[in-house]
Amino acid sequence: MRVLISGASGFLGRRLTRWLTENGHQVTRLVRRPDAGPGEISWDPASGMLDRAALAPHDAVVNLSGANIGDHRWTDRYKQVLISSRVDSTGTLARTLAALPAGERPGTLVNAGGINWYGDTGDTTVDEQSPPGTGFLADLCKLWEAATAPAEEAGVRVVRLRSGTPLHRDGGYLKPQMLPFRLGVGGKLGNGRQWMPWVSMVDWLLAVSFVLDHDGVAGPVNVISPEQVRNAEFTKEFGAALHRPVIMPIPAFALRVALGGLSTEALASIRAYPSVLLDAGFTFRQPGVRAALEAALHDR
């Protein structure tokens, strides 16, 4: 399969590019600079600049573009960056795909998204049929998904990933937690009763490969382990994987001081279930949090 990837230089994009290449696919990267030759295509999503002819030879597009959620304090300005970096890239790709003749365009758009689409669900389990939630990240996810509409209306198969946090020591939720946990000062967030929306890295990669290969899968797809745990249990298992005690919970007020508006989202409880993947026959390789954390720490 010939796959075009945006966000290929990011935390997930680098791993997906390597994964697809190692499994025999041909990957082209969208880059926001002059392209360096074969294997790269230059674009400017903020201005909507993308050569339609460059998309045509590909079978599928995977859009992973978006500024990092946890890299900055959530000022009003950075919130706008989080929105525009996702909506602009998605809209540019969707409109460009729609503008190509049906027989000349990639037939599939796999668009990144977040499990935060459901908002804070408390102890209620949600799946792809559940309504959207509220809050900044939920609203962001709704705008993000809505930007795929031109491609879907033109007949492109659109898969809207609603991913939990893929576990790996080099990014996502685990990277900023590595040092405090190694020092023995890591702990649960708040009361620790909130459900943690996580997925192993290998299952995230396998899920993206699965939806690329299965034409019958379209629309929202929860990419999340079917065996979710509360933050307190996740924290306990993380400490055990590092052979460190977990004795210092992080109070909610401390999170609000450190993270500002992000603290509300960090303390949200999202208990989701991957109904679409399981109904389509997908098998999770690492559904349990202990095995997933061990793999995340040892790059397996």
pTM: 0.94
Q: How many domains does the chain have?
A: 1
Identify the domain containing residue 128 by its residue range. Answer: 2-297
CATH number at residue 49: 3.40.50.720
Residue ranges, the chain, pLDDT below 70: 248-264, 300
Tell me the chain's radius of gyration from C-alpha atoms.
19
Tell me, what's the pLDDT at 263? 55
Task: State the Cα–Cα distance between residues 65 and 184, nearest whole angstrom.
Answer: 35
d(CA 182, CA 178): 6
- Condensed to tens digits (0 to 9), the pLDDT of residues 108-118 reads 999 999 999 99
Q: What is the pLDDT of residues 62-103, one digit of tens each?
A: 999 999 887 777 788 989 999 999 999 999 999 999 999 998
Residue 10: its pLDDT value, please?
Answer: 93
Q: How many CB atoms lie within 10 A of CB 149?
A: 15
**What would the 3-class secondary structure string for 118-179 be?**
HCCCCCCEECCCCCCCCCHHHHHHHHHHHCCHHHHHCCCEEEEEEECEEEECCECCCHHHHH
pLDDT for res 186 = 77
